[in-house]
Amino acid sequence: MASRLSMRQHLDTLFDNNSWALMTRNSSPPWPAEPDPQNLWFEWYHPRFTIFGTLAFFLVMKFWMLILASTIPMPAGFFMPVFIMGAAIGRLLGEALSLAFPEGIVAGGVINPIMPGGYALA
């Protein structure tokens, strides 16, 4: 609940087509003091956890908060949190495929790059 990013920024980062797993494997970027609008993916990076652990933790936290928000006796938005959860699950799948096939998938002699943001959108 105490995120530094707005819902719009969460969606912008989930739909980003850079593979976070490949970006953090070879580098250790410093944790920024303030969110950088040009590099919002740093908000998903933690020095001690992989991007997969960060996304899985985000999904678990978003799940129980969605249950809490939908059961309290006051109106709460239901569409946007479900939309964010679906994008996070797609991003997690896209990152896993990007890590498994860093060069892309070859089909019919054509190399198709894996875009994790596309999986978040689907």
**Per-residue pLDDT tens digits for 70-80:** 888 877 777 77
Least confident of 2-6, 12-16, 51-55, 103-107: 2-6
- Cα angle 62, 67, 69; round to 5: 90
Give the pLDDT of residue 1.
44
* 2 domain-assigned: no
- Residue from 43, 34, 33 nearest 12 by CA: 43
Q: Is residue 1 part of a domain?
A: no
Question: Is residue 87 included in any domain, yes or no?
Answer: yes
Residue 57 covered by a domain: yes
- C-alpha–C-alpha distance, residues 98 and 93, integer Å: 9
> Tokens at residue 119, please?
């999986």
Domain-located, residue 83: yes
Q: What range defines the domain where residue 97 resides?
A: 7-121
**Mean pLDDT score across all residues of the chain:** 78
Residue 11 has pLDDT above 80, yes or no: no
User: First-to-last CA distance in the chain?
Assistant: 25
Question: Three-state SS for 26?
Answer: coil
| 25 CB neighbour count, 10 Å cutoff | 12
Tell me how many domains the chain contains. Answer: 1
Q: Closest by alpha carbon to 40, among 15, 65, 77?
A: 15
Question: Average pLDDT for residues 14-35, to the nearest whole number?
Answer: 66
pLDDT exceeds cutoff 80 at 44: no
Q: Is the pLDDT of residue 51 over 70?
A: yes
- The rounded percent of the chain whose pLDDT value lies above 90 is 3
Compute the distance between CA of residue 34 and CA of residue 80 in angstroms, rounded to an integer.
25
